[in-house]
């Protein structure tokens, strides 16, 4: 079993993923069933290199799913992504196919979100807490969420996507952004909240229409 203390998750990569999603450059996973068996078997034995390979293959796809599930809450999505990968390092077993692996990762993601929502005593965005925890993460439902996210991101104006990039990709403070825009940090904060609200509203509308 992988050691959580020795397994390094590249935290610095989580922020740039949001910018990749905005530009629509999300990679897709690929590989035959034998390859998936090899990777999962090695991760189960604590192989750090195999874990990094697993992370590289699935972290962006998982983040896209989590952003959709949380209705645009990038911070919660990134935090949950790290929890999912830590769970994979500790508990992943040998799986027979890419579909089985993705379903496992998606189910763990929903379980972690369900736990967060129960702790905060609030209902999940799209389905009940029990449904989130037990959902198998079907390819069809995940694809629907990802398509909705793509559409919602494309509805943002270019300037708003730039603001998201500066905040979550470049890691700029609101003060630094304010200096670039020749405005105040308070104005940047207010604008960022409006952009987030538009993204969440778009996701809700699009997914409600398509579901």
pLDDT single digits (tens) 158-183: 899 788 778 765 778 999 999 999 99
**What is the reported pLDDT for 69?**
83
Quote the radius of gyration of the chain (alpha carbons, Å).
Answer: 18
**What is the reported pLDDT for 56?**
92
Residue 114: exposure state from Cβ atoms within 10 A (0-12, 13-18, ≥19): buried
**What is the reported pLDDT for 30?**
53
SS3 (DSSP) at 204? helix
Cα 121 to Cα 56: distance, rounded to the nearest angstrom: 33
Type and span of the H or E element at 152: helix 139-154
- Say what percent of the chain tops pLDDT 70: 71
Higher pLDDT, 85 or 145: 85
3-state secondary structure 10-40: CHHHHHHHHHHHHCCCCCCCCCCHHHHHHHH
State if pTM tops 0.75.
no
> For residues 66 and 22, is the Cβ–Cβ distance under 8 A?
no
**What is the reported pLDDT for 147?**
75
Higher pLDDT, 13 or 68: 68
Q: What is the mean pLDDT of residues 24-52?
A: 81
* Confidence band for 8, pLDDT divided at 50, 70 and 90: low
Which of left, alpha, beta for 2 (phi over 0: left; psi -120 to 50: alpha)?
A: beta
pLDDT single digits (tens) 87-121: 999 999 999 999 899 999 999 999 998 888 777 76
Nearest to 125 by CA among 196, 204, 211: 204
**What is the reported pLDDT for 183?**
95
Nearest to 192 by CA among 169, 166, 155, 153: 166
**What is the reported pLDDT for 206?**
79
């Amino acid at each position: 079993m992988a050691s959580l203390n020795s397994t390094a998750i590249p935290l610095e990569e989580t922020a740039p993923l949001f910018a990749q999603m905005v530009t629509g450059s999300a990679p897709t996973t690929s590989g035959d069933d034998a390859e998936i068996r090899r990777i999962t078997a090695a991760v189960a034995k604590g192989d750090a290199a195999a874990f990094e390979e697993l992370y590289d293959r699935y972290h962006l796809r998982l983040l896209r799913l989590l952003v959709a599930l949380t209705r645009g809450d990038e911070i919660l999505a990134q935090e949950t992504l790290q929890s999912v990968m830590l769970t994979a390092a500790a508990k992943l077993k040998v799986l027979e196919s890419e579909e089985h692996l993705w379903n496992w990762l998606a189910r763990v993601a929903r379980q972690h979100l369900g736990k967060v929502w129960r702790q905060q005593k609030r209902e999940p965005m799209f389905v009940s807490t029990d449904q989130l925890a037990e959902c198998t993460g079907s390819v069809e439902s995940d694809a629907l969420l990802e398509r909705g996210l793509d559409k919602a991101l494309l509805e943002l104006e270019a300037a708003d996507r730039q603001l998201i990039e500066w905040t979550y990709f470049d890691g700029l403070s609101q003060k630094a952004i304010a200096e670039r825009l020749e405005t105040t940090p308070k104005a940047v904060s207010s604008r960022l909240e409006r952009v987030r609200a538009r993204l969440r509203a778009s996701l809700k509308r699009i997914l409600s229409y398509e579901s």
